[in-house]
Amino acid sequence: MKIYRVMVVDDSAFMRKIIADLIDEDKRLEVVYKARDGVDALEHLSTIQPDVITMDIEMPLMNGMEALQKIMAVRPTPVIVLSTWGDTDTTIRALQLGAFDFVCKPSGSISLDLSSVKTLLIQKLLAAGKSEMKTLAKDTKTVTNEVHHCEEEVSFQHHNDNEVRSIVAIGASTGGPKALQQVLTSLPKYFPAPIVIVQHMPAKFTASLANRLNAGCSLHVKEAEQGEPLLNGKVYIAPGDYHMEVVERPARHYTIQLNQNEQCCGHRPSVDVLYESLYTLQHVKRLLVIMTGMGSDGAQGMKKLKQLDDVGTIAQSEETCVVYGMPRSAVRLDVVDHIVPLEHIASKISLFLK
C-alpha cells in the first residue's frame, strides 16, 4: 500500500498538532514534517520531499500565498490550502496559482474542531498524492502564448443578433479554477453563445471565482442569478450550494433556474443536473465540456444528451487533468466526441460554433 508523505504548514503549534493528528489517523498518510511558516517549509522542501502539503494562508515571515508560488517554482508539489470562510478571494487566487484544492476550516472565531472536515481533508490529500504535478506547475507564459494562438485560430465577427442558437455547458471540479481560467481567456471577445458552468465549490466561493475570472477575461463572467436570461458572450457560474438549470421560457428564450434540491452525485451544484436540463431545449445546439475533477459527475447527463441531434461533447485529456475522474467516466461511457488537451479546448469549442 502506497503511503503518502505529508508536510503540514501552519504558524500555530496547536493547529499543526491537531491537523497532523487527524492525518496520521489514516494509514495511507504519514506526516513527515510540521513547518511553522512558509520559510520553514521551503527550507525543508528538498530534503523532506513530501508528496503533498497542507498550507495555512495567514503566517508571519512568509505567508501561504508566497510559499505556494515558490514551491511551484522550486519543487512543484500538490498543496491543499486550509481556508477560512471569509477568505474566499485569497483561496480562489491560490487555486489559480496552482494549489491542488482547498478545505474550509470550521466557521467560528477560533477554528480548532478540524475533525468536522476530516473526511474531506483525507479524501483530498489522497487525491493530491496521486496527482500529476506537471498539470499544476505549467508555465504561465506558455499558457499566455497558447491563448493568443487559439484566439487567432477561430474568430467571430461582431454582430447585433442576440438570438441564442447554441449553448456551451462546462463541468469541472478539482483543478477547475485554473483550467477554466485558461479556457475562458482563450475564447474570442465576440463569442456567439452563452456559457453555463458548474464548478464544484461551496457557497460564497463561486462569487469570488466569477469575479476573478471576469477580471482577466474579455467575456463577461458572473455568478448566475435566479431567472436571468442567457445572453450570447456571457458566462454564468452556478452558485455554490445551488443546482443550476437552463429552461426555455418562452420559445427561443433561455433563462437560469436555481434550486436546492437534493445533491446529485454527491454535489450541489451538479454537472449532471445542468446537462440534463438541456435535454428538453428546442431550436438550439448544445456543446457539453467535461473537465478535470474527482468522481463521475456529468457522465450520465452527457450520455442522456448524446441521444439527441445537435449535441457535441468534449472531454479534457488525461495528461492535462489535475484529476482524471470526471472526464474518464464520460469517456468510459463512450459519449465523448473529442478528447482534447486543456490548451486546445477553447479552439475546439469555437470550431463547434462556426
Active site residue ranges: 173, 200, 297
Estimate the crossing angle of helix 176-186 against helix 140-153, to 10 degrees. 40
Question: Cell triple for residue 228?
Answer: 436571468
Measured between alpha carbons, how far is 87 from 89 in angstroms, rounded to an integer? Answer: 6
The partner residues of 105 in beta bridges, in order of sequence, read: none
Task: Evaluate the CA torsion angle 73, 79, 82, 86 in order and state its sign.
Answer: positive
CA–CA gap between residue 219 and residue 232 (Å, rounded): 10
**Torsion sign (Cα): 90, 91, 92, 98:** positive
Strands (DSSP E) contained in 97-233 are 101-104, 166-172, 195-199, 220-223
Rounded-to-integer distance, Cα 299 and Cα 331, Å? 8
Find out whether 321 and 135 touch, Cβ atoms under 8 Å: yes
Tally Cβ neighbours within 10 Å of residue 79: 28
Which triple of cell numbers denotes residue 304? 442522456
